[in-house]
Amino acid sequence: MSNKLWDKGFTPDEKIELFTVGQDRELDLKLAAHDVKGSIAHVTMLESIGLIEPDELPILRDALTQILLEIEQGKFTIEPGVEDVHSQVELLLTRRLGDIGKKIHSGRSRNDQVLVDLKLYMRDELIDIINHVKVLFDRLLSLSNKYCDILMPGYTHLQVAMPSSFGLWFGAYAESLIDDLRLLKAAYDIVNQNPLGSGAGYGSSFPLDREMTTRLLEFGDLHYNVVAAQMSRGKSERAVANALAGIASTLGRFAMDVCLYMSPNYGFIKFPDEYTTGSSIMPHKKNPDVFEIMRGKCNILQSVPNELALLTANLPMGYHRDNQLLKDVIFPAFDSLKECLDMCDMMLGHIIINTDIINDPKYDYLFTVEEVNRLVLNGVPFREAYKKVGEQVQNGSFKTNRSINHTHTGSIGNLANDQIRNKMDTIIAGFKKYM
């Protein structure tokens, strides 16, 4: 007996079935709880419009709640021969409730059912990402405050440029994460719209109360046009992928800094031996493998938006099975990014800063701009001051003065970390009602 929602009394070729189902059964386990929650909202709405009898609703809700409990306890599986999570839930209901269970799909297509599941799943995953980002942000800002007075070289073109500080370095990445969350908020708003009731993409002749399911599932808004709702498949994933890629870009860039700064030619930072790896042939090596793997994973994450764009490029209106493959790409991206965020936070909990790096004579010329600015503050025109210091550098007479006096907002002497934290708090507050 077939356990497919679309069963019409024939059995497809086995190879065709394996090819078209793909990874759905494995990936759908991530959607199971969301599928049940969507079904609870759907049957509640069906009762309100008379498609389910009042005495049937509590029976269905209790059975669905029991399935949800089994999912949360890790007891839910998709049985062999069952195509996907939607089929499995309906199969369980029919086994346990008989004909009542068969009513659950009224006014619904697997298309809008999948859309609801995906949007609920991505909503939760985005909130989880925010929590992970906030942990790393707190770590970075704490390190920025701790090492606010420890100078380090700043570079342009990988050439020694001007004085920086570890406070600036850590704080820069903390503030950059705030911009990443702004993009993530936009993706969240795109995802947080209810597609239920759009059916296969063209609505239904049933008098569905779509506003009711929007409230029950706590969506921020409704995909009003049923075709637009169906078109959100792929568009939502691309928006999310861009948000994840933004965070990955920041994290990957930080990982690259760490790899450079750990090298003996820089020597700015190091980690305890147990947080590095060695060489099979060179006894002295302490490799930044964690951050190299992190850099690689983040580069892969930055390719995800393009992968999804190519997967969905030029698809005409309506549902197409290509969209099934979106899960294969976006689901692992969430796990990979969270793993990188966690690992970065753990490593930074053990970072060791070289507090004396700036006193190395090779950084003497790092302070030429400071000398130019001192002359300007004493009344020398900028171009004359620049020329004078430049001549001193050329003839070897430049005398380094390592004292600095940066006071403007966001500079070495005024990191504005309280203001940066306020920015993050404002962003987080925009998500609070969903967290």
Q: How far apart are CA 185 and CA 177, in angstroms?
A: 12
- Distance set, CA 208 to CA 122, 173, 288 (Å): 25, 48, 57
Instruction: Give the CB-side neighbour count of residue 202, counting CA atoms within 13 A.
Output: 3
pLDDT in tens, 372-431: 999 999 999 999 999 999 999 999 999 999 999 999 999 999 999 999 999 999 999 988
Q: Which tokens is 143 given?
A: 């390190």
Q: Which tokens is 230 given?
A: 């169906």
pLDDT over 90 at 318, yes or no: no
Q: What pLDDT score does 99 carry?
A: 92
Of 327, 301, 334, 333, nearest in space to 115 by CA? 327
pLDDT in tens, 208-262: 999 999 999 999 999 999 999 999 999 999 999 999 999 999 999 999 999 999 9
Q: Which CATH superfamily includes the segment(s) 14-106?
A: Fumarase/aspartase (N-terminal domain) (1.10.275.10)
The reply to whether domains 14-106 and 111-146+166-352 share a CATH topology is no
| Contact status, residue 109 vs residue 318, Cβ threshold 8 Å | no
Q: Which tokens is 278 given?
A: 């060695």
Q: What pLDDT score does 435 carry?
A: 72
Q: How far apart are CA 92 and CA 68, in angstroms?
A: 12
Look over the chain and give the mean of its residue pLDDT values, rounded to a whole number.
91
Q: What pLDDT score does 412 carry?
A: 95
The predicted model gives 91-118 an average pLDDT of 93
Q: What pLDDT score does 5 carry?
A: 47
The predicted model gives 152-160 an average pLDDT of 93
The predicted model gives 97-114 an average pLDDT of 92
pLDDT over 60 at 114, yes or no: yes
pLDDT class for 111, splitting at 50, 70, 90? very high
DSSP-derived secondary structure for 165-191: EHHHHHHHHHHHHHHHHHHHHHHHHHH
Q: Which of 141-145, 317-321, 351-355, 428-432 has the lowest mean pLDDT?
A: 317-321
| Contact status, residue 304 vs residue 241, Cβ threshold 8 Å | yes
Quote the distance between the C-alpha of residue 189 and its chain's center: 14
Q: What pLDDT score does 20 carry?
A: 59
Domain covering 111-146+166-352 assigned CATH 1.20.200.10 in the classification: yes
Give catalytic status of residue 42 as yes or no.
no
Task: Sort residue 137 into left (φ over 0), alpha (ψ -120 to 50) or beta.
Answer: alpha
H/E run at residue 259: helix 226-262
Q: Bigger pLDDT: 368 or 23?
A: 368
39, 165, 205, 279: the active-site residue:
279
Residues in a beta bridge with 82: 3
Instruction: Give the CB-side neighbour count of residue 150, counting CA atoms within 13 A.
Output: 17
Give catalytic status of residue 279 as yes or no.
yes
**pTM for the predicted model, two decimal places:** 0.91
pLDDT over 60 at 1, yes or no: no
DSSP one-letter code for 271:
-
pLDDT in tens, 282-295: 546 578 899 999 99
42, 86, 87, 157: the active-site residue:
157
What are the boundaries of each domain within the chain? 14-106, 111-146+166-352, 361-395
Token match 């753990």: residue? 346
